Amino acid sequence: MNERIVWIRNNLKSQNIQGMIISNPVNIKYLINIDAEGILLLTLKENIFITDDRYIESVKRVLTIDDEIIVTSFRDLSYEDYENYFLFCENVGFEENYVTYATYKEIMHRYKINNLVETEGIIEKQRQIKDEEEISYIRKACEITDDCFSYLLKYIKKGMTEKQIANEIENFFKEHGASGTSFPTIVASGENSSMPHAVPTDRKIQSGDVITIDMGCVYNGYCSDMTRTIFVDFAQEYMKKVYNLVLKNQMIVTSEIREGANTKTLSKIVEGNFKMNDYDLVHALGHGVGLEVHEGPILSSKNEKLLKAKMVITNEPGIYIPGEYGIRIEDTILVHENDAEVLTKSSKNYCILN
Amino acid sequence: MNERIVWIRNNLKSQNIQGMIISNPVNIKYLINIDAEGILLLTLKENIFITDDRYIESVKRVLTIDDEIIVTSFRDLSYEDYENYFLFCENVGFEENYVTYATYKEIMHRYKINNLVETEGIIEKQRQIKDEEEISYIRKACEITDDCFSYLLKYIKKGMTEKQIANEIENFFKEHGASGTSFPTIVASGENSSMPHAVPTDRKIQSGDVITIDMGCVYNGYCSDMTRTIFVDFAQEYMKKVYNLVLKNQMIVTSEIREGANTKTLSKIVEGNFKMNDYDLVHALGHGVGLEVHEGPILSSKNEKLLKAKMVITNEPGIYIPGEYGIRIEDTILVHENDAEVLTKSSKNYCILN
């Protein structure tokens, strides 16, 4: 049986859970490497992937006999089939963070389960710790992102629009082995940069602009995430000060990242330093990165977790002056036992384009 | 107050529901035209949009005083604030099709609501009926899609990869006013076309290929969806037969679409005709299109609904021969009282590229 299925079966068993219904497609991808819509059932003895006729062929191309997964079509199942799946299970787990309330009720009804129990993000938690293969994909995604940034420094010219630059980034990703972007690319120039979640517009790059570029790609299913803020022609002294404050804090956090570091403490460091300079940290300091570009753990002062080795997280402090400008610097970082490895390696020195 | 908010308030009132918690971002976009993450509360007297500090500025740029919406930050709310929002409400609605089981429990806990009641997709149902402005955006998205298809007929050459063609489609969309694709573009050639949900690969287009192109773009938030199947150099007689069968059924369905048409009956027509020729309809016949590329109503034999005027739906029968080839033809269609208006106008005649 595939080793991730063995892992989850053992873990459930230790909690007296005899079966599980897995609906989150990202979790299904993680466990059995399948991208199709469907539901994965771990019954007492079998692993069953129920999907649509549309996907049967492509699913069978991916799975091997060693996966020990029975593939079946929704169309071929009777009411009795559903009722029989978990007949001898005392407790059956479900994904309370993914399944809607309506689906929860439908599951209860369809499978006639005695106890449908919450599994507290068991798969999502495991996904936070990456294995060597996953790390190699994230590394590659970060490498493509760095290459793209180097390219941009030569590509970006005054008069280009934010949209044009965002498109160029997406094309670069695809032409360099990525399957696409890991989230809609942000290119925010001038006053638009004051919005942490700006959407690229037709605004043209001009002299004196700050440009915040937040981008990431997907390589073999795994994401990267990096932000750099650059200047055009010159940087105002007051902006430089803010840039330095953001960069200093970003680097302090990186130097503190290791197994056992407390996510709340890390955020508090930045919040405190910003506060002393009359600024606020208005968003989370970072988040996990993997099959999803935003996954656990969240690095924020509202959420106390200890980092573990082989987690991949972002570190992305930012300061935003409404209506004026914003500065954010972000890396994707691999947590080691004793230190942090920065996977996105693009320079964070001031960069002034001409 | 904005008219969609007035509509939902009246509708809820008639069901003895005094408040509602709206979390689905597409529904929030529909009601108040805001794209930011957040929660919209309709309390007894106020409309409150609670969001992250990150979004406050951009949200305030979109809303006007006439919207009568109070914008507040999660950060500024106390436990008491949450508990007071629905203090005098007997019943408060929520989106059971969107909210996860875990969030449902959290809402119960946070707002201390007497009766948290299901609203049976009230907003999604209303979204199925488009107003003139929405229709104009979908029309435009379809127009861009048609233009793209005309362009492709000149662009596609033997030796190009599926990925290359998919990228060109996406670039075309962006260069012609769309904000992007409405779903990951499918370009499936040769044997890959036998998978209804194929992902573009590095396979090169060659003589004798069938190519299925399923594509759509987003214009002003609204989607289009169209599939055409074309041939390279020549079409085998047995493929032509299947093509004709699919096309004939697609056109029969279109001729039956009007207010009052039964989605189950429409699907049964195609299923029956396919069956007589020893083929199956392995996916739904169609779906609604709007802010989401897949929304209600679903056109399938498992789901009996009557079409209404001003719905926008797809009509997309397909036949797939595993490991060999597949043929699908799809249009985006506006339902009128007495007939159907096909919004995607690209020719459905055989098309043989040289």
pTM to 2 decimal places = 0.85
Say whether both A161 and A112 belong to one domain: no
Looking at residue A78, which CATH number applies to its domain?
3.40.350.10
Question: Angle, nearest 10°, between helix axes A3-14 and A25-32?
Answer: 120
Q: Do B97 and A100 touch (CB under 8 A)?
A: yes
Q: Give pLDDT tens digits for B268-283.
A: 999 999 999 999 998 9
Q: Do B53 and A167 touch (CB under 8 A)?
A: no
**pLDDT of B69:** 92
Say whether both A149 and A290 belong to one domain: yes
Burial of A342 (0-12, 13-18, 19+ CB in 10 A): middle
**Three-state SS sequence of chain B:** CCHHHHHHHHHHHHCCCCEEEECCHHHHHHHHCCCCCEEEEECCCCEEEEECHHHHHHHHHHCCHHHCCEEEEHHHCCHHHHHHHCCCCCEEEECCCCCEHHHHHHHHHHHCCCEEEECCCHHHHHHHECCHHHHHHHHHHHHHHHHHHHHHHHHCCCCCEHHHHHHHHHHHHHHCCCCEECCCCEEEEHHHHHCCCCCCCCCECCCCCEEEEEECEEECCEECCEEEEEEECCCCHHHHHHHHHHHHHHHHHHHHCCCCCEHHHHHHHHHHHHHHCCCCCCCCCEEECCCCCCEEEEEECCECCECCCCEEEEECCEEEECCCEEEECEEEEEECCCCEEECCCCCCCCCEEC
Q: Do A53 and B282 touch (CB under 8 A)?
A: yes
**pLDDT of B250:** 98
Q: Do A197 and B322 touch (CB under 8 A)?
A: no
Say whether both B244 and B122 belong to one domain: no
Q: Does A27 touch chain B (CB under 8 A)?
A: no
> Is the pLDDT confidence value at A162 over 80?
yes
Give me the mean pLDDT over the A148-167 stretch: 97
Average per-residue pLDDT for chain B: 95
Residues contacting A190, CB < 8 A, separation 6+: A203, A206, A208, A209, A210, A325
Q: Does B183 touch chain A (CB under 8 A)?
A: no
What residues of chain B lie within 8 A of the CB of A118, using their CB? 101-102
Q: Does A100 touch chain B (CB under 8 A)?
A: yes
Short-list B69, B156, B326, B153, CA closest to A58: B326
Q: Give pLDDT tens digits for B160-193.
A: 999 999 999 999 999 999 999 999 999 999 999 9
What residues of chain A lie within 8 A of the CB of B35, using their CB? 199
Domain endpoint, select from A126, A153, A173:
A126
**pLDDT of B82:** 96
Say whether both B167 and B38 belong to one domain: no
**pLDDT of A312:** 98
Say whether both A199 and A343 belong to one domain: yes
Say whether both A98 and A149 belong to one domain: no
Q: Give pLDDT tens digits for A223-242.
A: 999 999 999 999 999 999 99
Say whether both A120 and A136 belong to one domain: no
Give me the mean pLDDT over the B193-218 stretch: 95
Short-list A103, A141, A65, A129, CA closest to A344: A141
Say whether both A177 and A248 belong to one domain: yes
ipTM over 0.95: no
**pLDDT of B8:** 96
> Is the pLDDT confidence value at B319 over 90?
yes
Q: Give pLDDT tens digits for B140-165.
A: 999 999 999 999 999 999 999 999 99
Say whether both B190 and B280 belong to one domain: yes
Q: Give pLDDT tens digits for A239-260.
A: 999 999 999 999 999 999 999 9
The CA–CA distances, whole Å, from A2 to A5, A7, A35, A126, A224 equal 6, 9, 16, 15, 26
> Is the pLDDT confidence value at A37 over 80?
yes
Mutate one of B56, B57, B120 to test the A interface: name it (highest A CB count within 10 A).
B57
> Is the pLDDT confidence value at A131 over 90?
yes
Say whether both A66 and A102 belong to one domain: yes
Say whether both A101 and A234 belong to one domain: no
Looking at residue B240, which CATH number applies to its domain?
3.90.230.10
pLDDT band at A216 (very low <50, low <70, confident <90, very high): very high
Domain endpoint, select from B94, B126, B158:
B126
Q: Does A52 touch chain B (CB under 8 A)?
A: yes
Domain endpoint, select from A126, A146, A176:
A126
Nearest chain B residue to A192 by CA distance is B58
Cβ atoms of A312 and A333 closer than 8 Å: yes
Q: Give pLDDT tens digits for A269-294.
A: 999 999 999 999 989 999 999 999 99
Short-list A77, A78, A82, A73, CA closest to A53: A73
What residues of chain B lie within 8 A of the CB of A102, using their CB? 96-97, 118
Q: Does A147 touch chain B (CB under 8 A)?
A: no
Cβ atoms of B327 and B188 closer than 8 Å: no
Q: Do B102 and A101 touch (CB under 8 A)?
A: no
**pLDDT of A61:** 85
Domain span holding position A206? 132-353
Say whether both A33 and A170 belong to one domain: no
> Is the pLDDT confidence value at A54 over 80?
no
A residues 154..173 contacting B (CB < 8 A): 163, 167, 170-171
Give percent of chain A with pLDDT exceeding 70: 100
**Total structural domains within chain B:** 2
**pLDDT of B64:** 83
Q: Give pLDDT tens digits for B241-273.
A: 999 999 999 999 999 999 999 999 999 999 999
The β-bridge partners of A226 are: A215
**pLDDT of B60:** 86
**pLDDT of B61:** 85
